[in-house]
Amino acid sequence: MEFQDLIEKRYSVRSYKSKPVEDEKLEKVLNAARLAPTAVNKQPFRLIVIKTEGKTEELKRIYHADWFSQAPLVICACTVRSESWTRSDGRNYVDVDTAIAMDHLILAATDLGLGTCWIAAFDAEAAKKILKIPENVEPLLFTPLGYPADEPGTKSREELDVLVHYEHW
């Protein structure tokens, strides 16, 4: 798929088929995250792949929507601040690096005919407990991963002249 077509095709999927995700496709989306650029190539993120079967109640404690555990897989992107790069002014790039990795994963999934939905509004404490995340690691993002059972709606996006400035603000 051409890149422009890919980014236009990606949407937030909120209904999934029960069809399993093939191991080869899972490996490709995970590899896309691995290949994502990170500050000083530190790769300060970890991914947790969760098979949803039999885990509906636990997953609902993390994020309440029924469709979250409807997909056969859910992926949690975690930050490892101790492994990240910090700029001289104190700005740490762990969240940026992890978001870039998740974006690569999501675009790779779209390219393979899989659906995802970027989720940041989850219960972090429940996620830490249920997924047994170590103390020095933080869950940052989740996405279900599976075959879409819905159709994309219309995307509301600002025009370029609202978002882009040239030479100065």
For 67-100, how does the pLDDT look when each residue is reduced to its tens digit (9 = 90+)? Answer: 999 999 999 999 999 999 999 999 999 999 999 9
Task: Note the pLDDT of residue 115.
Answer: 98
Give CA angle at 77 (51, 164), nearest 5°: 130
CA distances to 35, 96, 113, 136 from 130, rounded to whole Å, are 28, 25, 29, 16
Between CA 117 and CA 27 the distance in angstroms is 18
Q: Which pLDDT score, from 0 to 100, does residue 1 have? A: 81
Residues in the chain, pLDDT under 50: none
Q: Are strands 73-79 and 45-51 parallel, antiparallel or unpaired?
A: antiparallel
Looking at residue 67, its pLDDT comes to: 95
Q: What pLDDT was estimated at residue 154?
A: 86
In three-state secondary structure terms, 45 is: strand
d(C-alpha 151, C-alpha 140), whole Å: 27
Rounded Cα distance between 37 and 101, Å, is 7
Contact by Cβ (8 Å): 105, 32:
yes
Position 155 scores a pLDDT of: 83
- pTM here is 0.95
Helices 94-111 and 23-34, packing angle to 10 deg: 150
In the chain, the domains with their CATH numbers are 3-163 (3.40.109.10)
